Structure 1
Amino acid sequence: MHRRAAALAVPLAAITLAVSSCGSIPEEWRTPAFLRMNGDQLDPRLPTVTGEVGEEPEVAFPESDPPDEEISGIVSAGSGEDELVRADDLVVANVVQYQWTGPGEGELAEGMSSYETGAPDLIRMEQMPEQISEVLVNQPVGSRAVYVMPPLTEDEQAQAEAAGQAAPAGASVLVIDLVNSFNKGSVVPGEQSTDGGDGLPVVTQEGHSEPTIEFPEDAEAPEDLEVVPLIEGTGDEVEEGEQVIVQYTGVRWEADDNGEHPSFDSTWSRGGDPFDTTIGAGAVIEGWDEGIVGQPVGSRLLLSVPADMAYGATEEETMGAPAGPLVFVVDVLGSYKNPPPAEEEGGAAPEEGAEEEADPAEGGE
């Protein structure tokens, strides 16, 4: 996940630690405790999870010891049959972790509720352990899943403590609410009300294809940032510091030796896999921070970014990034509150982006 190593340390650590012991569980013990057809009942050994999806759940623990095998199930299925989660989606989810400590006893794990922070997790399904993802795949957005992971063995507790992690007491219980899902090739809905022009490039895009960006002859790049909504979104305005999910293509204003303006970077070159980043906080170039903050979710934006709001005017300044003024076409698919930074334990938290893939849209000194 881009730009979220530090911010997601707490919720993703919950998932990772909860399933870390499952590699030692025999395959025949991995029990999907539900049948997807005909509304068959959940395994009675699962905790009872109630409440509306979209609100923090209420969990009642059975009057028995936690099972020594992994069980899971769909508590309630969403209604959106046209919004089924795919195995390679970027999913937005609220995640809550509990500890089942004994018969009828359990509690919310401290700091392990995205409902408390108001900031859902961005989960790339391809990066999730199979025992998490397989329950969610083919479920509609709006569904709620529950997982029970057996208590850690003594060896696993020792391993966790050696790694500086607090070993949870009892079994771990995860509740995951599917808020939204973005698949490869996702674009904003609606038709373009303008294609740009008037001295700026002309943008055409058919369906879920990469946009075509045509430059006017002999036109000069604007000196200031230009933001043109090609499709005006109807969602909430993007706020500074939020995590945005976008599709984008970037090209240089200056043509190459063949008179072309080839893309220097694009999510489409990576199979249309949506990109997520923090906006308005220096995680990306200034042209993105100023151009995207304040725009409604669901917008398609044409951004003409001057060199001083991108990477610089010359190759010497850019350190491998494209020099000069740039043009981006950005689909703003979603925007969500960012989780608070993980608390420091025994040292400073990782710097933002420290363990993430570099991306040409990233900011820099």
Structure 2
Amino acid sequence: MGFELQRKPHWSAGSYIDLVLAAVSMQILFFITALWVGTSGTEFYQDNTTEVNHAMRIQLGLGWLMCILAGIGFSILPLIYDVIGFERTLMRVYVGMNVSGQVIITAGILSGNLSIFNSFTTIGITLLAASVVCLWSPALTIFKNNSDNGKKVGPFSYALGSFLPIIGIFTMACWALRDEFESALDLSERILFDLFFSLSLIAIIISHINRRLDWRIIQPDNTGKVFGVYASLLLISIVAKSLYEADDISTRVVAVLQFIPYIFIFMMLKPIKIIAQIRNEKPHNKMVIASVFWLPVIGVAAYIEMMGYAQTTDAMMSYYRWILIFGVAFQVFGVLLHTSMKITKDATEGQKDTFWVSLITVNFGALITVYALLSSWQTGEPRDNIARLGIGV
């Protein structure tokens, strides 16, 4: 006996609320864990710095940041581009696996026991990786829609869809092989943050400005080419770091290669044209537009760190990655608030206040991180206390 499941194609357009709620809850849990590590769990943390840091960064990247990204990619985009996104059951499976993975990683860290930590973190990373792999199906749906609607969806479909299963499997493999390959965990983080998130965030920016605002900063025929060059430059920068660690290329060469991708994509986004549109009082999302102007700062920060002008510790995430998260990721996620206002046709005073508070605090946090970077350059010492202040903001 067969039957056809009937549903509205855009029922998932509001499902981003569930994903964002999951992300916010896990974000609170993440910062509680970080607080514990910095206070009660210092001895365990100091003995296992590399592994604990990696577990928390994967919790950050594949956990609550990915929840928000999924909300945009498979809930907001179906509304904007007239395509089908999440199946309801799949969304629940994804959220359940994602949240469970983060909770288990947290439990492993809070245990203060190395054996429990290793077991729980392995389970948690496996769940996070599997949750990402299960997003392949809706990503493939949007990818197929691209062939039917030309360049309507833009690069987001293949930017996210092509990498999802690879990211999940690669992250799991790097954790499993961490004892055999010294640089496995670092490489896993580079692929996740420096490649995947850099690609996905730029894809959202291009899709939002080109489609939602209809500014055509990049011609539809050129989006694929620009995106392909950007992806290639990011890959080259990642490979260059590995070659540098093997003493095959100089510090300055690899530093320049870290700088180039962000300057390239910044120029391709035509900042002068964006400024002209703003001066002409064209409607726009201030957070998304602000994120564009943080891109060259990321490139400069990556160059400074690679040259050794600014110092970090094993416990610190790179300055340029925090700028990527605060200056670009958090602001691009403002697409959610922007779209919810458009859906309701009229923003309440509370929504407007929330928007402005978010805009100010996120950019202030990014500025504090930049100050920490410059202060480290001047003093020659890590400025992790200042960087933590930026994170707190």
Higher strand share: 1
- Whose RCO is larger (CA < 8 A, sep 6+)? 1
Shorter-chain TM-score bucket reads under 0.3
Higher helix share: 2
Structure index of larger Rg: 1
TM-score calculated relative to the size of structure 1: 0.27
